[in-house]
Amino acid sequence: MKSSLLVLLALMCIVTKAQVLHKDINVITCQTDTTETEDEEQLDGNEIFYVDFNNNKIVLTLPEFADQLQVNPGWIQGAQANKQVCKNNLDVAIQAEKSPPENIDAPQNTIYPRDEVELGKPNTLICFINNFYPAIVKVKWTKNNVEVTEGVTLSNYYPNEDFTFQQFSTLSFTPQLGDVYSCSVEHKALTEPKTRIWEPEVKAESNVGVTAFCGVGLTLGLLGVATGTFFLIKGNNCN
């Protein structure tokens, strides 16, 4: 049995000048039968940075246009300590509750392109996996039924307010008509992988021309009816 522990340290603070309420959350997660642990900092539900335990460094995840932060180097040492505390607390909780069965929630996933699709132009497919627990999923991409590993990324998992998780996987690709892509997700709550399919859908340019032609024809037809009606009325007045 695998158990996991999610620790949320929330700090509510008010910016006096702007009178805006913000939520600052430090998220620490650990599990019993894996060394995978997360320590991340969120502001209003958006990740600011996380600790890369493998390389012992802090990774900023703010967008390029945002003001970059200077994180105290001591955060890494604190994260290492919190990692061990999380493991100890998890062991104590399991023993105190006599190893209760773990709740599981099956993931929901959807697939969509990052940018508007134009054939022959590089783009990114996003597979969004949400509402799953515990926090381990496997994601597989295919193109025309062949597994794809190049150009694939997988984000950290992020906690939802109900203590389930969400995660993103992306695939860099160049859309071509006829190609079919899929994103499959495996999780312990699923009896079989959950797969979502995506293929390019591009509006034919000829439809625009047909629509314009029909519009012009309808306009000319209406003008013809109006002209005929005008001369008919004038003729009756002459009689």
For residue range 99-126, what is the model confidence (pLDDT) as tens digits?
777 788 999 999 999 999 999 999 999 9
The verdict on pTM exceeding 0.85 is no
Structural domain contains residue 24: yes
Lowest mean pLDDT among 8-17, 19-28, 42-51, 157-166: 8-17
CATH number, domain with residue 157: 2.60.40.10
Say if residues 182 and 197 touch (Cβ distance below 8 Å). Answer: yes
Q: Can you give the residue range of the structural domain that contains 128? A: 108-198
**Domain C-terminal end among 54, 70, 96:** 96
Structural domain contains residue 193: yes
* pLDDT value of position 210: 45
- Cα–Cα distance measured from residue 95 to residue 102, given in angstroms and rounded to the nearest whole number: 14
Structural domain contains residue 180: yes
Structural domain contains residue 224: no
* Domain count for the chain: 2
Two structure tokens written together for 31: 């599990």
The answer on 116 and 85 residing in a single domain is no
The answer on 20 and 61 residing in a single domain is yes
Q: Would you place residue 66 in the very low, low, confident or very high pLDDT band (cuts 50, 70, 90)?
A: low
pLDDT tens sequence across 74-101: 898 898 898 888 888 888 888 888 777 7
* pLDDT value of position 219: 52
The answer on 193 and 122 residing in a single domain is yes
Q: Would you place residue 204 in the very low, low, confident or very high pLDDT band (cuts 50, 70, 90)?
A: low
